[in-house]
Amino acid sequence: MMWEVPVGLENEAARLRRGDPAAFEALLERYQNRLYRYLLRMVREPATAEDLFQQTWLRVAEKIRSYNPQRSFEAWLFSVARNLAIDHLRRYKPESLDEPLATGETRADQLVGAGPTALEGVIVRERSSRLAATLGELPVIYREVLSLRFEEEMKLEEIAEVLGTPLSTVKTRLRRSLEQLRRRLEARGSASEWQV
Partner 1 sequence: MKEHDKVRELLTLSAAGTLDSSEQQMVERHLAECAECARELEGWNALAGGLRRLPTPRPSAALVERTRTLMVKHLAAEAERRWDLGLLVFAVLFAWTLTLAGWPIARLLTSGAAAWLDMSFRQAWLGYAAYTAVGWVSAGVAAVILGLRHRTSRRMA
Partner 2 sequence: MSRFQEEFRVIPRTAMALAVLWVLAMAAGMAYLVYVAGGSDFRNPGNWFLRPLLIVVAPLLTGMYVLMVGYIYGDARRRRMRYVLWTFLAFFLPQAIGILLYFILRDPLPSPCPQCRTAAPANFTFCPFCGTPLKPTCPQCGKSVEHNWTNCAYCGKKLEQPTSNAA
**Contacting residues toward partner 1, per CB under 8 A:** 19, 21, 24-25, 28, 32-33, 36-37, 40, 46, 50, 53-54, 57-58, 60-62, 116-117, 119-120, 123-124, 128, 131-132, 135, 146, 149-151, 153, 156, 171, 174-175, 178-179, 181-182, 185
CA angle centred on 39, ends 37 and 42, rounded to 5°: 110
Based on CB atoms, which residue is closest to partner 2, 47 or 102?
47
Q: With CB cut-offs between 5 and 8 Å by kind, which of partner 2, partner 1, none does residue 190 bind?
A: none
Stretch that binds partner 2, among 32-40, 51-59, 125-133, 176-184 (CB under 8 A): 51-59
Rg (CA), the chain: 19
Helices (H), the chain: 6-18, 21-43, 46-63, 73-92, 116-125, 128-137, 140-146, 156-163, 167-191
Q: Does 103 bind partner 2 (CB under 8 A)?
A: no
Tell me if 51 contacts partner 2 by CB under 8 A. Answer: yes
Report the interhelical angle of 156-163 vs 73-92 (nearest 10°).
40
Whether the Cβ atoms of residue 111 and residue 65 lie closer than 8 Å to each other: no
47 binds, among partner 2, partner 1, none (CB under 5 to 8 A by kind): partner 2
